Amino acid sequence: MNGLDIKDIGQIGTEFVVFGGPYSNLQATEALFSACADRGLSADQLICTGDAVAYCGDPVAVLERLAGACHWVAGNCERQLAGGASDCGCGFETGSACDIWSAQWYRQAQRALKAPHLARMAQCPDIVTFQSGTLRCAALHGGATDIAAYLWPSDPDRIFAQEMDALERLVGRLDVVFAGHCGLAFERVTRGRRWINVGVIGLPPHDGRVQTRYVHFREGAAYIKRLSYDAQGAADALRAGGFPAPYAQALLSGIWPSEDVLPRALRR
């Protein structure tokens, strides 16, 4: 990742929410903002780790909902769409189910998005840094070495140490990193530094439950929360928009349509 756009957003307090992967799922996005409003959190206390547009049926509505409603870090989908790239940049193996389906939703999203939407995505920073009390934090999409890097809960400590070291070379010492991309929420501690994947709100985490995930951070503790929302409505919108049908089933079953991207240790 060269020529990164790094933005410091200052002190945001000891309570905030970090979420990832809205994935064009308007119903989940609305539910997330409603849950945050119920906690009395403002836009300055909400951070999105990117991939606002992906598998589901409402890319335009989700982009318009996010604008001004949170701090918003670019994911690979933002960078690829805004840059006019030919694919989403997730790095799926050529010819795999994920590769074929991603090409379908990507074309649908390209047709739906207009110049102002692309311009808004282009404005997203690659990394935000901030203070939470005495903790120095950063949020990014995948990894410091690659925006689309997959860091899994089954990965060895050295992978997380390498990414943390690479990030600290860019932004200085950190206590906590918030990331997304892989779709699974978890926390790891490496050399006294915390790497928290906040999961995604747009698809369930392949566990057989319809609820998606986000992180509520309060007084130094990260709480992985389940997000309930109108999954049937999201599935209906996905089908109506001509997006790949397997993702509609995933919304309702809680199981991903393919395990191509998962390391073997995490497959069902």
Q: Give pLDDT tens digits along the chain (268 positions).
A: 558 999 999 999 999 999 999 999 999 999 999 999 999 999 999 999 999 999 999 999 999 999 999 999 999 999 999 999 999 998 888 888 888 998 999 999 999 999 999 999 999 999 999 999 999 999 999 999 999 999 999 999 999 999 999 999 999 999 999 999 999 999 999 999 999 999 999 999 999 999 999 999 999 999 999 999 999 999 999 999 999 999 999 999 999 999 999 999 999 8
34 lies in some domain:
yes
Query: How many Cβ atoms from other residues are within 10 Å of residue 266's Cβ?
Result: 14
Residue 2 has what pLDDT? 57
> In the prediction, which pLDDT does 138 show?
98
| Residue 262 domain-assigned (yes or no) | no
> 191 in a domain, yes or no?
yes
Please report whether residue 114 resides in a domain.
yes
Comparing CA positions, the residue from 229, 268, 266, 267 lying closest to residue 251 is 229
What span, in angstroms and rounded, lies between the C-alpha atoms of 268 and 264? 9
The encoded tokens of residue 144 equal 């410091």
Beta-bridge partners for 71: 47
Secondary element (H or E) of residue 159: helix 157-171
Count of helices and strands (H, E) across the chain = 8, 11
Class of residue 54 by CB neighbours under 10 A (exposed 0-12, middle 13-18, buried 19+): buried
Residue 221 inside a domain? The answer is: yes
> So what's the pLDDT on residue 259?
94
pLDDT at residue number 119: 97
Residue 260 lies in a domain: no
- Asked if residue 264 is part of any domain, the answer here is no
Give the pLDDT confidence score for residue 129 in this predicted structure: 98
Which domain CATH number covers 207?
3.60.21.10
Number of structural domains in the chain: 1
**pTM for the predicted model, two decimal places:** 0.96
pLDDT computed for residue 98 by the predictor: 87
- Residue 252 has a pLDDT of 98
User: What is the domain extent for residue 204?
Assistant: 7-254
Closest CA to 188 of 140, 147, 223, 154: 154
| DSSP code per residue over 71-110 | EE---HHHHHHHTT-SS----PPTTSHHHHHHHHHHHHHH
Does residue 259 fall inside a structural domain?
no
Find all residues with CB under 8 Å of 89, minimum gap 6, and list them. Answer: 76, 77, 79, 80, 147, 148
Say if CB 8 and CB 129 are below 8 A apart.
yes
